[in-house]
Amino acid sequence: MALDTVERSRPQPVLKYKVRTGMFAWMVHRLTGVALVAYIIIHVWGLRSLTDRDSFNALIASYHAPIFKIGEFLLLAAVAYHALNGLRIVLIDFLGWSPHHKKVFWTLGIVAVLIILIGGYPSIYALIAYYS
């Protein structure tokens, strides 16, 4: 590709993104997306134990270590953000909402924060109760 050769001859800056609303949304969408793929690999692989009573109970018991309460919270946060920003992408692509993409970002952002705070409260509460 011609473009490739032109670009390769110049030194590449590490990060040349101009971080504004849309770019910020896109970057976090990618980061949470890659994290969720890493999670689904572990999750599906772990569920092999679904075929055996003792190993399934051992797996669930291992998930009750305090560190997993933080993991649970971060997972919810990543899922909530990725789902709602994904909805924003669908609205932009299919319904032509791109003129409003910033407004949609902040509106769905507030919804995401509410979901994370309300849905994540039990995990954080359990953790605080354990250590106090």
Partner 1 sequence: MANPYGKNARSNAFNWFLHRITGTFLIFLLITHFWVQHYDAQTATVTAAVVEHGASPVYPEAAQQAVQARGVAVGEVTAYDVVMQRLADPVYAVLWKGFNILFLVFALHHGFYGLNNVLGDYIRNDFARVTVLALSWTLALVLLIVGLYSVITAGVGYGA
Binding residues (CB under 8 A) for partner 1: these are 4, 8, 30, 33-34, 36-37, 40-41, 44-45, 47-48, 50-51, 53, 56-57, 60-62, 64-66, 69, 72, 76, 79, 83, 86-87, 89-90, 93-94, 119, 122-123, 125-127, 129-130
CB of residue 68 vs partner 1: minimum separation in angstroms? 9
CA angle 13, 105, 16 (to 5 degrees): 5
Give the whole-angstrom CA distance, residue 23 versus residue 102.
Answer: 11
Structure letter (DSSP) for residue 98: G
Residues whose CB is less than 8 angstroms from the CB of residue 81 and which lie 6 or more positions away in sequence, other chains included:
28, 29, 32, 112, 116
Q: How far is the CB of 102 from partner 1 (least distance, A)?
A: 20
User: Nearest distance from residue 45's CB to partner 1, in Å?
Assistant: 7
